Amino acid sequence: MPRSIWKGSISFGLVQIPVALYPAEEPNELHFTQLDRRNMTPIRYERVNRETGEPVSWDDIVRGYPYEKGEYVVMSDEDLRRANVEATQTVDILDFVDASEIDPMYYEKPYYLAPASTNSKKKSSVTAYVLLREALRKTGKVGIAKVVIRTREHIAAVRPHGRALVLNLLRFAHELRSDEELDLPEMDVDAKGLGKRELEMAERLVAEMATDWKPEKYKDEYRDDVMKMIEKKVKSGQTTTPAEPEEEEKPRDTGTVDLIALLKKSLGQKGAKVANDASDHKRESAGAKPRKAETSKRKASGSRRAA
């Protein structure tokens, strides 16, 4: 079973569903090790102290925000969690929209959401999970939510996929470039000299090539060809033995479980919108507090980010 990268709860209305987040994609890219061509030894990348040149272990590395040149504010994982405990442990569904209304350009990265516990004593949380999954399936809606993953807030779509609920990270509107800056032909096809006969033939060709969507039909042929070439080199003895193994990175802790759950309190209430309004008010109140990080010194630093 894969390891979860986040644990918390789905929140919609007054319903809280304890869940765990799992990667839904498995990149199958070819990875090459960089070698020194003089003796075919792997090139090692080390975490070193810029001042002393000494190696630094993961245990001695902290996260610092550069608020001005050469000056940093150190932020621990606990600091980031305390900044907004609810946000870092909740998939907060704000709205439900028709799935067909979301332009595919907004979809970025999929994750599986699974019940955090199947313990018989926690049966209500599993029931609530199934309730949300089937409600979305029958209505054709997806939940638009906000969630914090690894110190960054994302907008996401919660939708049913077979037995699972899937959380698809979405791009914010400002992250998509407008096509206005491109030199594109206008929508008026007649003005571009496109004849009726050509368009009919193109439509006929599309119809002839139309088929059902079967993703397993499409293969990464380039990767297969590269692997065949690698296997051929192995068989012919064109290999080299590295002098030392690759350095393994130390895994990091990904968070804690936030178990909440009472489905019955929200049944029969109009409370979804009320709860959302209350949540919005709470966030606005929290946002009204002054933040020292947003000083003139920070502005002078531009858009630099923590290491």
Instruction: Tell the burial category of 161 from Cβ atoms under 10 Å away from its Cβ (0-12, 13-18, 19+).
Output: middle
Give yes or no for a contact between 71 and 298, defined as CB atoms under 8 angstroms apart: no
Dist CA 191 CA 287 (whole Å): 52
pLDDT bracket for residue 143 (50, 70, 90):
very high
Helical ranges in the chain per DSSP H? 77-83, 85-88, 123-139, 196-209, 221-235, 271-287, 296-300
Q: Which residues pair with 15 in a beta bridge?
A: 12
Residue 140 has pLDDT above 80, yes or no: yes
The CA-based angle 37-40-43, given to 5 degrees, is 85
Q: Give 147's Cβ-side CA count (13 Å radius).
A: 30
Rounded to an integer, what is the distance from CA 305 to the centroid of its chain? 19
pLDDT bracket for residue 228 (50, 70, 90):
confident
Dist CA 209 CA 204 (whole Å): 9
Give residue 133's pLDDT: 94
Q: Which of 42-51, 106-115, 278-287 is the least confident region? A: 278-287
- Among 21, 19, 15, 18, smallest CA distance to 96 is for 15
Give residue 266's pLDDT: 47
Give yes or no for a contact between 82 and 124, defined as CB atoms under 8 angstroms apart: no
Q: Which of 30-44, 182-196, 261-275 is the least confident region? A: 261-275
Give residue 233's pLDDT: 78
Torsion region of 35: left, alpha or beta (phi above 0 gives left; psi -120 to 50 gives alpha)? beta
The CA-based angle 172-178-183, given to 5 degrees, is 160
Give residue 137's pLDDT: 94
For 47-57, what is the mean pLDDT?
A: 88
- Among 101, 107, 44, smallest CA distance to 245 is for 44
Give residue 106's pLDDT: 94
Strands 35-36 and 107-115: unpaired
Taking each continuous run of H as one helix and of E as one strand, the counts in the chain are 7, 11
The pTM (predicted TM-score) of the whole model is 0.58
Give residue 300's pLDDT: 41
Q: Which residues pair with 137 in a beta bridge?
A: none
Give residue 86's pLDDT: 56
Q: In the structure encoding, which two tokens stand for residue 89, read together? A: 């442990």
Residue 28 has pLDDT above 60, yes or no: yes
- Residues 159-216 have pLDDT tens digits of 999 999 999 999 999 899 888 888 888 877 665 677 788 888 889 999 998 998 888 8
Give residue 199's pLDDT: 84
DSSP 8-state symbol, 216: G
Dist CA 258 CA 77 (whole Å): 16
